[in-house]
Structure 1
Amino acid sequence: MTDSADRRLGDRILVALELAIDQQELEIAEQLWRALELALSRYGGPDAFEKRDPPANMDDVLDRLFALRRAKGG
């Protein structure tokens, strides 16, 4: 893993999202998910070809967010 100073914004948001899910903070996790989507889609604009792969654990984090939504009745 790279030094934290070298991380991209999306990487930092993903770490915060994982922490919010771990702490079962659904409202915060939802906001962070929207911020992550925005950060990842801003790269090059909506019609640009994404030049980097999404974070490897993004699917797992999304599954955990969906599970938290269900657990909280959402």
Structure 2
Amino acid sequence: MRADLAAAFFDCRDTTELTRRITAGDAPAPTAMRGTGSTREPIWALEACRQFITRRHDIAERESSVESVADLI
């Protein structure tokens, strides 16, 4: 997701607040950069954001929340 969506996901008013929270360790750093040259922009993987929240708030992952590909077939 782009920075504006990541800011909303972490309940930040704007991307400036998201940057402050990343520096403070309250939000994860971008997982990759998209684009080339001056058009590069940071992006966050949704799963990485979910894992950050799980670790940050010490939430135990439930086995039932993880889907198995074999169950879908």
**What is the TM-score when the length of structure 2 is the normalising length?**
0.28
**Higher normalized strand content (fraction of residues):** 2
**Higher normalized helix content (fraction of residues):** 1
Higher relative contact order (CA 8 A, sep 6+): 1
**What is the TM-score when the length of structure 1 is the normalising length?**
0.28
